[in-house]
Amino acid sequence: MKVYYRFSDGGFNKLKPEYVTKKNCLLNFLKHFHLADVEITIIADKVSEETVQWLDQDIASRIGVNYIRTNFGYGSKAYIKVLEMATELPDNEEIYFVEDDYIHREKSFQTLREGLEIADYVTLYDHPDKYLPREQMGNPLVKDGGEDTKVFVTRSTHWKITNSTPMTFAVRAKTLKQDKEIHYHFCEGTMTDSYRMFLRLREKGRKLISCLPAKATHGELQWLSPLVDWRKEIEL
């Protein structure tokens, strides 16, 4: 599996718990992935010299993970960069795109691979908006407390088909190559429009699944995945 981790000192002003910092999230991710059968590339976009020093000393030297510096300043442009890199890979390569404000749990890597056995796109994030209607800042496709779906089981977890997820997900290179024009289309602004992108992919016949309960969460306070003590996960 190839992992492309997009790291930046910037970002949009979102309310997050104090334990959700860019450094904490990266260290948490590496704890669960750097010894797995993966090749990790960190895209360090528009980072300070202080951050570069930390990446050099604590990440590249001690952990052995390489990084590439870019100066885009926008998440959509950084995603296009990794999209171009990923679509050069062999068709059967598994790919995990990761944003820099996610917390991961034990066996995240193994769970991702299980998901890729049964779906085109896989997320470890159980997004709370899938249980809230539009009127409560939820998902437009939610009705009566949930989305219309189908539930599967693999060796270690349950999965449901879901309609969308942010831009942290796994996919195979062959699928990505076939869908790349859709990905490019929804990266034209400063932010990727992940919701409409995954709806378009679903119209094409692609299946996106998320595991239950979550093996990862986005770090925004309002949208932490339910039923998991995420402070404990990042402090382990």
Confidence of residue 148 (pLDDT cuts 50, 70, 90): very high
Asked if pLDDT for residue 110 goes beyond 80, the answer is yes
pTM for this one?
0.96
Q: How far is CA 165 from CA 9, 34, 62, 122, in A?
A: 23, 24, 33, 9
Work out the end-to-end distance of the chain between its first and last CA atoms, rounded to an integer number of angstroms.
Answer: 25
Check residue 20 and give its pLDDT.
96
Check residue 22 and give its pLDDT.
94
**Which CATH superfamily does the domain covering 2-235 fall into?**
Spore Coat Polysaccharide Biosynthesis Protein SpsA; Chain A (3.90.550.10)
Asked if pLDDT for residue 12 goes beyond 70, the answer is no
Q: Residues 164, 198: contact at Cβ < 8 Å?
A: yes
For residues 49-65, average pLDDT:
90
SS3 sequence of 115-175: HHCCCCEEECECCHHHHCCHHHCCCCCCECCECCCCEEECCCCEEEECCCCCCCEEEEHHH
For residues 20-46, average pLDDT:
94
For residues 203-209, average pLDDT:
98
